[in-house]
Amino acid sequence: MKIITIDKLKEKALSPGEFIRECESAYENTVTETARALAESFEQHPIVLLAGPSGSGKTSTAKKLCKALLPYGIKGKVISMDNYFLPGRPAPSKDGKIDYEKPDRVDSALLSQHMRILAGGGEITMPSYDFEDNTRSDGEKFTRDKNTLIILEGIHALNPDVTGALHEYSDFIYVSVRTRIADETGVLLHPSKIRLIRRMCRDKLFRGRDYHETIAGYQSVQRGENMYIMPYKHLSRHDIDTFFGYELFIYAGVLREIREDFNECEERNDMYSVLPRFLNMVEPLSPDLVPENSILREFIG
């Protein structure tokens, strides 16, 4: 896993336009190279299983791959595994809590059936899941032609218990933040914390939640990741690092309140006190500098 120092990032941020172009270009190059590899194995692997933890930019990366495949004469079709959730509210576990991220929430039988049909060029009626009332209905009809690659995106995409029947004719991608930031004392901002900061921005801007609420629910999110995602990331043939060196400077402006609560977080001395510590080390950059086609727009709008 790559480590970059906060001082190096601050040095690059002195020329923000060049810094942002450099970061975006590095990510785009990785996507382009991955698309090339997918195109080479397209006939053997008409399905791509793309997984990654929350806040990793899976959806945006899947869309970027579709665009990067076009020069090879291949169209991409992104299908969300979320639409294959079983209808009905799941039963609570022994502790009385409902785990919406369990693998058995996925209708793996229907999923496997549909992917087999699409791999063979047949037609399916895609399901559509409504998370508000936990119902599933019929969506659009879709037929895969010989020039279309299916990208199945979801947290359980690499889990053999969910998608094992598809592995014979599928390729595998793991998407996540893979870079750590180190301060001058050697303290590290772990990739999971960068993904948490992304969630905090998204929750604040689009869901009306303050950062306390996001942090309170994050332990459950991490528990699900450790149980259902991390054990299978070694199965991927392609890894895409969605870290952008300039992103901390953007979040520093969006999350001003957590920067102002620095002393409170330091006094708690919990696992999240590192967040304001790093956000206070950088000068905010305007979100207006973020390119409209950047995957960071998934988190800041």
Q: What does the pLDDT average to over 224-252?
A: 96
pLDDT at residue 92 in the model? 63
**Dmax (CA) of the chain:** 60
pLDDT score of 27 more than 80: yes
62-79 tens-digit pLDDT: 999 999 999 999 999 999
Give the CA distances from residue 95 to residues 91, 98, 99, 143, 248, in Å, rounded to whole numbers and listed in that order: 11, 9, 10, 43, 37
265-291 tens-digit pLDDT: 555 546 677 888 899 999 999 999 999
CATH number of the domain residue 237 falls in: 3.40.50.300
Count other Cβ atoms within 10 Å, centred on residue 286: 10
- Domain assignment of residue 202, given as a range: 2-300
Rounded to the nearest angstrom, the gap between the alpha carbon of residue 185 and the centroid of all alpha carbons in its chain is 30
Per-residue pLDDT band at 91 (split at 50, 70, 90)? low
Query: What token pair was written down for 204?
Result: 């604040």
181-215 tens-digit pLDDT: 999 999 999 999 999 999 999 999 998 888 888 88
- Average model confidence (pLDDT) across the chain: 92
Count: domains in the chain: 1
Per-residue pLDDT band at 127 (split at 50, 70, 90)? very high
252-268 tens-digit pLDDT: 999 887 777 655 555 55
What sign for the dihedral angle of Cα 131, 132, 138, 141?
A: negative
The pTM of the whole model exceeds 0.85? yes
